[in-house]
Amino acid sequence: MALKDDRVADVTEPAAELGARRARPSWAARVRGAVVAVLALAGAVGLVATLASGPLAGLFRPQGAPPSPVPASPSPSLSPSAIPTPGLARFDPAASDGAVLQLFARVLKQSVDSAGEPDGKALTGALAAAGFDPRAMQRSADRTSVDLPAPSISVSVRVRDTCFVGQFVRAERSVVGEVTAPISTGACLIGQTVPVG
C-alpha cells in the first residue's frame, strides 16, 4: 500500500508542476499586464489632476486652506502687470467681459499698491468706488480660524451670468483676476465668505 501511495504521489507530482507552469503567465502576458498597469496609473493621475483643478477643486483643498475660485471652463485670466492701462474708467454693465476683467484687475492692483497690505474690505471698497455693485460682491475672510492673517484674500463680483474673481496673495503681494462661471449655488466663491458692505 505504501508503494501504491508513492506511485500515486509520483504520478500526481509532475502533473501539479505542469499545472503550475501553465498557470504562470507568459512573458508577453506579463508585458501586457505591465503596460495596462502603467496606462491605468497615468489615467488615474490625469483624473486627479482634472478633478483638483476643475469644478470639484474645493473638495481637494487642505483643511484650513482659503477658498479658491474654481473655473468652470478655460477662461480668460490676467495678471495686473499684463493689463494695459487704457480701458474702462468705471464699470459699464454693457462692456465686454474682457474690458470688465481689465478694470476689475486694475482696480485691485491699484488698491494693493496704495494700501500696501489691504484687507478684503479695502479691496471690495475699491471695486465699489469703480462702479461695481457691492450687493453682487463676495469676499473671503482676512484672518484664519486661529486669528492669523489669511495667506490670500479672494474677492468676486457677479455680473450677469459671469463671475469676476480676484485673489490677493500676501506673500507675493500679487493680484490675479479671472473670469469664471458661477458655482451651482449661483455664488462666485466657494466656502465661507464675509458679508460685503
Q: Check whether residue 76 and residue 113 sit in a common domain.
A: yes
* 171 domain residue, yes or no: yes
> 180 vs 44, which has greater pLDDT?
180
pLDDT at 47: 42
Indicate whether 149 pLDDT > 60: yes
Alpha carbons 16 and 34: distance in angstroms, whole number: 27
pLDDT at 72: 45
Indicate whether 73 pLDDT > 60: no
> 5 vs 179, which has greater pLDDT?
179
Average pLDDT (144-171) is 95
pLDDT at 32: 63
Indicate whether 86 pLDDT > 60: no
* 152 domain residue, yes or no: yes
Mean pLDDT of the chain: 73
Number of domains in the chain: 2
Q: Check whether residue 71 and residue 34 sit in a common domain.
A: no
* 187 domain residue, yes or no: no
Alpha carbons 60 and 58: distance in angstroms, whole number: 5
pLDDT at 116: 76
Alpha carbons 99 and 110: distance in angstroms, whole number: 17
Average pLDDT (29-35) is 57
Average pLDDT (100-106) is 95
Report pTM.
0.57
Q: Check whether residue 117 and residue 158 sit in a common domain.
A: yes
pLDDT at 131: 96
- Residue 19 CB partners (closer than 8 Å, separation 6+): none
* 89 domain residue, yes or no: yes
Distances, alpha carbon 140 to alpha carbons 39, 76, 84, 100, 115, in Å = 40, 22, 27, 21, 18
Residue 106, φ and ψ in degrees, nearest 5:
-65, -40
pLDDT at 117: 83
> 174 vs 60, which has greater pLDDT?
174
Q: Check whether residue 141 and residue 162 sit in a common domain.
A: yes
pLDDT at 29: 58
Q: Check whether residue 49 and residue 70 sit in a common domain.
A: no
* 192 domain residue, yes or no: no
* 188 domain residue, yes or no: no
Residue that terminates a domain, selected from 53, 74, 96: 53
Of 32-36, 108-112, 116-120, least confident by mean pLDDT is 32-36
Domain that holds residue 76: 66-180
Q: Check whether residue 126 and residue 160 sit in a common domain.
A: yes
Alpha carbons 130 and 105: distance in angstroms, whole number: 11
Q: Check whether residue 71 and residue 159 sit in a common domain.
A: yes
Q: Check whether residue 100 and residue 138 sit in a common domain.
A: yes
